Copies of this chain bind each other. A is one copy, B any other.
Amino acid sequence: MNTFGRNFRITTFGESHGTAVGAVIDGCPAGMPLSDNDIQPLLDRRKPGTSPLTSARKEADRIEILSGIFEGRTTGTPIAVIVRNEDKHSGDYDALREVFRPGHADFTYQAKYGIRDHRGGGRSSGRETVGRVAAGAVAMKFLAGKGITVEGRILRVHGKTTPEEIGREIISAKNAGDSVGGIAEIIVRGCPTGLGDPVFGKLDSLIAGAMMGIGAVKGVEIGDGFAAAGKFGSENNDPMTASGFASNHAGGILGGISSGQDIVVRIAVKPTPSIAKPQKTQDIHGNVVEITVGGRHDPCIVPRIIPVAEAMLALVLADAVLEQEKYRA
């Protein structure tokens, strides 16, 4: 299932070491100005090789729009975008052809499909998110026209919270041949009331599904989230005063529908599974082997996951906005 959304629908494709990755965006309203320049900056934010904290893989990641635009505006027809894969070091992965890297999808892809593109993780690679991010950039453009913005930030990495400490923690893990996880927060501002569709299209349900569908994400919470479990109702309820809600423990969603407050989402990101430290695992013949994962990997994926999370959140919201138009007629 490589299609996401009911109204603002995207279909993504592509593997880490295939010819190209990309997306088809279907349902974007007609008449919206759109060019490469609306998409490239978000792609650049997810790109590796831009800092000592991220993978050294160099990817130009130039977006190419194949369809759906006429004289600088959307036409209501599908917008296909691709990014060619370059700087592929497929040879780096030869040793992994028959080995299941711990913490990766190697074992489960093999179990599910009986065949697996082992080069860079194939479709399970983070590179797959290029299509999501490109599509998310289009969604953001659409949302901007409605006054809605989506913005993420790192909350903590391996327990550290300041940029300097976080940087040190990541470098330190990298030097140890290890990796670290962290927590990111994404906030939607300017969201109107009424988005979200009970009972199986609730906005928080869609958001949770979208966030947990990003590789490496192991937890999602909205508003006070897990902290709410330790509170009294009288603490957790958001009272209303003359000027509206007096607090936002709910994180902007009540009964699955947006309340007009900021939507507050946090995600837990696991440490990158690709580490240089030796690990025990099995190969496809069932033999126990020890591996050291080479290649060029991020010691902490939190910074690069933020544009992906923003993109997915933007896609959920663009879809919900279009869905909601139906009730406004």
Interface residues of A (CB under 8 A from B): 1-4, 6-7, 9, 11-15, 18-22, 24, 26-27, 29-31, 64-70, 73-80, 82, 100, 102-105, 107-109, 111-117, 122-124, 128, 156, 158-159, 173, 178-183, 193-194, 196-202, 204-213, 215, 218-242, 244, 246, 250-251, 253-260, 268-275, 277, 279-282, 286, 288, 322-329
Q: Evaluate contact between B200 and A273: CB separation under 8 angstroms.
A: no
A280 to B13 alpha-carbon distance, docked (Å)? 45
Q: List 13 A-B contacts (CB under 8 A).
A: A3-B26, A6-B6, A13-B77, A18-B69, A30-B115, A31-B114, A75-B117, A76-B113, A103-B233, A183-B226, A229-B269, A239-B281, A325-B328
Contacts of A20 in B (CB 8 A): 66-67, 80
Which residues of B lie under 8 Å from residue A237 when comparing CB positions? 102-103, 273, 275, 279
Given contacts A76-B327, A212-B222, A238-B102, A229 and B67 within 8 Å (CB-CB)? no
Asked if A207 contacts B213 (CB within 8 A), the reply is no
List the B side residues contacting A270 at CB < 8 Å: 224, 228-229, 231, 233, 236
Nearest neighbor of A78 in chain B, beta-carbon distance: B13
Pair A14/B115 contact, Cβ less than 8 Å = no
Give the residues in chain B near A68, CB-CB below 8 Å: 13, 15, 18
- Contact B199 A205, beta carbon cutoff 8 Å: no
Q: Verify A326–B327 contact, CB threshold 8 A.
A: no
Q: Which residues in B have their C-beta under 8 angstroms from that of A324?
A: 112
Query: With contacts A208-B211, A220-B219, A325-B326 known, is A238 near B103, CB below 8 A?
Result: yes
Which chain B residue shows the least CB distance to A201? B1
Interface contact A109-B218, CB-CB below 8 Å: no
A260 touches B229 (CB 8 A): no
Indicate if the CB atoms of A242 and B288 lie closer than 8 Å.
yes
A197-B1, A272-B233 known; A76-B112 Cβ under 8 A: yes
In the assembled complex, the CB of A322 is this many whole angstroms from the nearest CB of chain B, namely 5
